[in-house]
Amino acid sequence: MSGYHAVAVDGEIAPETLIRAVYGLDARASIEPRGTGEFPWGAAPGTAGVARAGGWTIVGGDLPPALGSDGESASLAELSRGRRLFRWVVANASGSVGLDQFTDGEHQRSFWSVEGEVVNSGGSPLAGEPEGGLEEADQGEVDERTIVGILEPHIGPWEVIGTAEYRMFSFGR
């Protein structure tokens, strides 16, 4: 697995709406169904899967082109209006992990580590984070399992999320 990007939104959202918001696609971009499958580990560019699990709508796939930009943050904040949203990223090539929480349009928690160095953090630690938050943890130990372990009490067990049936889509810009 080379990496992936995922967003979990509390409640039900149409797959196309979620993909457009997460991947920064406008109304002219095509989104085509491509069958079903498991969680899209290391998805190819222009592909994503969407599933419902435990009251959440989850999209997983390749890293968005605008990852980490102000525009992406604004889009995720908008998508979180009236609900909670968690986003996590694992990019093995750069040794990066990231975790964000948005609630009702507000960016409440952010943590990003690249090659064992904290490059961005903000907000109060989530329930399940180590004492003092991820920032205080041994960064050599913060990995995908750490992030997923923190998210499980909020969005549900990884066994459910990772094995749900995902509707697969391809999209163009």
Q: Return the pLDDT at 11.
A: 95
Give the pLDDT confidence of 118-139 residue by residue, as tens digits: 999 999 999 999 989 999 999 9
Contact, 169 vs 15, CB < 8 A? yes
Using pLDDT thresholds of 50, 70 and 90, give the confidence band for residue 91: confident
Give the pLDDT confidence of 36-77 residue by residue, as tens digits: 998 888 788 899 999 999 999 999 998 777 776 677 889 999
Of 101, 6, 78, which Cα lies nearest the Cα of 111? 101
pTM: 0.92
**Residue range(s) defining the domain that contains residue 147:** 3-171
Do strands 117-123 and 106-114 pair parallel, antiparallel, or not at all (unpaired)? antiparallel
What span, in angstroms and rounded, lies between the C-alpha atoms of 40 and 26? 23
- Give the count of beta carbons closer than 10 Å to the beta carbon of residue 36: 12
Q: What CATH number has the domain bearing residue 29?
A: 3.30.70.1270
Specify the number of domains making up the chain. 1
Average pLDDT over residues 101-111: 97
